[in-house]
Amino acid sequence: MPTPNDARDFLVSRRAKVSPEQAGLPAYGGNRRVPGLRREEVALLAGVSVDYYNKLERGNLSGVSESVLDAIARALQLDEAEAAHLHDLARASGRSPVRGTSAGRAGRGGRGVRPSVQHMLDAMTDAPAWVRNARHDLLAANRLGFALYSELFFDEVRPANTARFLFLSERSRRFFRDWDRSADDIVAMLRSEAGRAPHDRGLSELVGELSMRSDDFRRRWARHDVRFHRTGAKKLHHPIIGDLELSYEAMTLSSDPDLTFLAYTAAPGTASADALTLLASWAATLEIDAGRATVVVPDARG
């Protein structure tokens, strides 16, 4: 993971998304045999020979230069995440060009966070905050963060994992009010990480488990979509405090680049801000083990 087929399927899927008109090319004839661009059109736009592009689309990205990859990214109108993924796939094929933080990262497994990170989390008393690894294991949180994501802890598997919860627990379809969007996002993030860290055994096992047990995951994984997760909005339904509309910021920890710190806030004066105040009161009743990143949820919740 990834395989030459991943590189092939990624390029084919991106090529299918760009029409000749979008690429500034004349669309000759009314019956095109393929959706989107033809291979020869991509080659023309990228300034490479058709034979060379055909080799790349067969999944043979070994040895391709960064400049050629950049040219193909422009031809296929890839966004930042997609362009980074193309470089990662090429790197996994055997070449190791260093390209910022996109170099393959070892997963952190189920290990916790440094004490100073936990102290920072605990100092945030008005906003849910948590730390995850690239496999979406929940490694640490503050009390509000544990309370917000308490639904994850009904599954006895540890560490709690957002992707496993989303695809394997019926509770997730109530918790994530926009379930389809959340599912699309998390699969795209896992696909990106598979390109960055092709030798992460834990990630491979997670993808294998979800592919075996969830048709929804398997269909999304086959799309080869990739995405960065930096800022945005979440619509959640918490079983205790009801609906929430929260903004989030996601930040990579500079000393632990395989970990992401996330914080959630609600606009002042909104119903969601009031709900977070109620959440803080309920959070005080929870039995939390921050060192093991786990929480005991009261049985009365059902």
Question: What pLDDT score was predicted for residue 33?
Answer: 74
Q: In the chain, pLDDT over 70 holds for what percent of residues?
A: 90
pLDDT computed for residue 201 by the predictor: 92
In what helix (H) or strand (E) does residue 193 lie, and over which residues does it extend? helix 179-196
* Structure tokens that stand for 49 in this block: 């020979």
pLDDT digits (tens, 9 = 90+) for 88-147: 999 988 644 444 434 334 444 556 799 999 999 999 999 999 999 999 999 999 999 999
Same domain, 244 and 271: yes
DSSP-assigned states of every residue in 112-177: ---HHHHHHHHH--SS-EEEEETT-BEEEE-HHHHHHTGGGGGS--SS-BHHHHHHH-THHHHHBT
pLDDT for 196-212, tens place per residue? 988 899 999 999 999 99
Same domain flag for 47 and 186 = no
Task: Quote the radius of gyration of the chain (alpha carbons, Å).
Answer: 22
Structural domain of 285: 115-301
What does the block give as tokens for 292? 């093991």
Given 49, 78, 102, the domain boundary residue is 102
Q: What is the pLDDT of residues 230-276, one digit of tens each?
A: 999 999 999 999 999 999 999 999 899 999 999 999 999 999 999 99
Q: What is the rounded distance in angstroms from the CA atom of residue 222 to the CA atom of residue 125? A: 40
Cis peptide before 159 (omega within 30 of 0): yes
Same domain, 14 and 156: no
| 127 belongs to a structural domain | yes
Q: Is 107 contained in some domain?
A: no
pLDDT of 186 above 70: yes
Rounded to whole angstroms, the Cα distance separating 162 from 175 reads 12
pLDDT band at 50 (very low <50, low <70, confident <90, very high): very high
Report which of residues 167 and 291 the model is more confident about.
Answer: 167
In a domain, 15, yes or no: yes
Residue 257 covered by a domain: yes
Amino acid 291: pLDDT: 72
Label residues 159-176 b or e (16+ Cβ within 10 Å = b).
Answer: bbbbbbbbbbeeebeebb
Task: Give the pLDDT score at 290.
Answer: 73
Report CA dihedral (155, 156, 157, 159) to the nearest 10 degrees: 90
Within a domain: residue 108? no
- Tell whether 274 and 144 lie within a shared domain: yes
CATH of residue 223's domain is 3.30.450.180
pLDDT band at 295, cuts 50/70/90? confident
33 or 245, greater pLDDT: 245
Where residue 256 falls (left for φ over 0; alpha for ψ -120 to 50; beta otherwise) is: beta
- What whole-number percentage of the chain has pLDDT above 90? 74
pLDDT of residue 300: 45
Q: Is residue 110 part of a domain?
A: no
237 and 94 co-located in one domain: no
Higher pLDDT, residue 76 or 107: 76
Give one word for 29, left, alpha or beta, with left for phi > 0 and alpha for psi -120 to 50: left
CATH number reported for the structural domain that contains residue 26 in this entry: 1.10.260
Which DSSP helix (H) or strand (E) runs through 240? Answer: none
Q: Which of the two residues, 109 and 39, has the higher pLDDT score?
A: 39
Quote the mean pLDDT of the chain. 89
Query: Which of 121-130, 202-211, 215-224, 285-294 is predicted with the least confidence, judged by mean pLDDT?
Result: 285-294
Total of domains in the chain: 2
Same domain assignment for residues 79 and 161: no
**pLDDT (0 to 100) of residue 2:** 60
